[in-house]
Structure 1
């Protein structure tokens, strides 16, 4: 269930929403999920996904798309949701996050559209041509907070303290000043407090690893314009393998395609985002 872990971990506390009236929720944006001065887009998407999950009759996100309109800041926010359609197996709705701007007027920060269903009701049949990414075991990979010469100092990436993720040594040349130019990042995702991933956390994970722009030789902030996640299955317990790739950087924008695999060798989610590639 989308709301099953409330209060049990830092992620759940920081994505909590409080109903004010039907379709309206109060929330507090935590600075603990920031990257320099920016709040992580995956964290914000998970918060809106939680609010939408409390509005729709189905429990699990199947496909969720977020458009990032203006920069979200730490502090209070209001999330407004609406139902577009409900059916027997799927329901669709939207959620928008608002904050008060400097002029005292309400500003929309994010707009999200999502379709929810019940992952436990899906058939077990799997026919796929893709395979899990090959990488060393979790304990033989490099902690994201240990990589030397990170283009963005760890002290400015508060989000790193929430995670226990590790990177495949074959894809951390950028941290040594030797990016491969292939636009590939692989690694293991895990929460620092031991929380196992659920469908709501998958909305975060697609935007929770170092950007492939680093492996392309860029070192600046990579703000997300749009992020779509397809949730395919409920993850088995344990760290998740994440493979990220960029095939095209053009006109100052790049895409990131992400595959997320669980400990049972199932691809539990896919995501794609369009981001701006900014030089430092």
Structure 2
């Protein structure tokens, strides 16, 4: 993590405060969507997934998300919301649940924003055997990557009104940041060191944020518009070790105005701790 950043422990971080859920009834939780996790005017999809993930962790008998899939139905806005959960199945080693987030529209009607289905278990109880051909992404050292204020004009290299960037410690691989100076590579890749700005170490819930926190790969394809998520599936593979994460995202196919993003998240011990795939819509500016 960057030098000079105070270390926040899990529980007293802004991320924890802004993902607090308050039980109103069995399976029903009140939440407040913070304006601090918005990109332009939209609430970040990874932050929203972490909120629903916390509610499911409260409702289900197992603590950790193993796989979680969200369909984003309508755009969420900062302000009050309600999460309604349902236990689909509760077994000895794994439980399954679903959850939806609702907000009131101007007419007072409930509008469903997101619908989630997830399997939960205990990551610490999983077998430790690892057989993999996956390798950590090749990212330059943290101090050689680009953070806030490193754009040529002294601004953030991430365009637009992005309140979320003030809450993240993102350091972009220069090889995937050509779009920030008007020279996108065309390769559809994005890589970065990732952490929370207050120094809080990662846990399974913050991994749900990490997979959706980098600038869109569409930027490196030369498309500088809004890229709203339609569907996002995340697999949590390990509880991450303390220290910054490395995130690599790739897009292989953009067609019909839709693109996929495949993400990998690696911890400080070179373990693959999370994987995700999302389908997003490319709205060309």
Change (3 A) 1:148 1:20: farther
| Counterpart for residue 236 of structure 1 | 241
Counting only pairs closer than 5 Å after superposition, residues 107-146 of structure 1 correspond to structure 2 as: 107-144=111-148, 146=150
**In angstroms, what is the RMSD of aligned CA positions?**
1.4
Matched, 1:214 2:205: no
| Counterpart for residue 272 of structure 1 | 277
Distance across 2 between alignment mates of 1:151 and 1:241? 18
Following TM superposition, by how much is the alpha carbon of 1:146 offset from its aligned partner in structure 2, in angstroms? 2.9
8 A contact 1:221–1:277 mirrored in 2 = yes
Distance across 1 between alignment mates of 2:115 and 2:55? 12
Matched, 1:25 2:29: yes
8 A contact 1:141–1:168 mirrored in 2 = yes
The match for 1:12 among 16, 23, 30 is 16
Unaligned runs of 5+ in 1: none
- The more displaced of 138-147 and 9-18 is 138-147
| Counterpart for residue 5 of structure 2 | none
Give the SS at the match of 1:215.
Answer: helix
TM-score (norm 2): 0.94
Distance across 1 between alignment mates of 2:165 and 2:151? 12
The match for 1:184 among 189, 192, 196 is 189
Following TM superposition, by how much is the alpha carbon of 1:137 offset from its aligned partner in structure 2, in angstroms? 1.1
What do residues 218-267 of structure 1 show as CA deviations (whole Å, max 9, x unaligned)?
A: 00010000011000000000110001000000000000000000000000
Aligned residues between the structures: 275
Give the SS at the match of 2:196.
Answer: coil
The match for 1:74 among 75, 78, 101 is 78
Matched, 1:60 2:95: no
Following TM superposition, by how much is the alpha carbon of 1:152 offset from its aligned partner in structure 2, in angstroms? 5.7
Following TM superposition, by how much is the alpha carbon of 1:153 offset from its aligned partner in structure 2, in angstroms? 3.1
| Counterpart for residue 105 of structure 1 | 109
8 A contact 1:144–1:167 mirrored in 2 = no
Unaligned runs of 5+ in 2: 1-8
Following TM superposition, by how much is the alpha carbon of 1:102 offset from its aligned partner in structure 2, in angstroms? 1.2
What do residues 38-70 of structure 1 show as CA deviations (whole Å, max 9, x unaligned)?
A: 110000000000000000000000000011001
| Counterpart for residue 168 of structure 2 | 163
Following TM superposition, by how much is the alpha carbon of 1:140 offset from its aligned partner in structure 2, in angstroms? 1.4
Distance across 2 between alignment mates of 1:211 and 1:158? 16
| Counterpart for residue 199 of structure 2 | 194
The match for 2:259 among 238, 249, 254 is 254
TM-score (norm 1): 0.96
Following TM superposition, by how much is the alpha carbon of 1:139 offset from its aligned partner in structure 2, in angstroms? 1.5
Distance across 2 between alignment mates of 1:153 and 1:130? 32
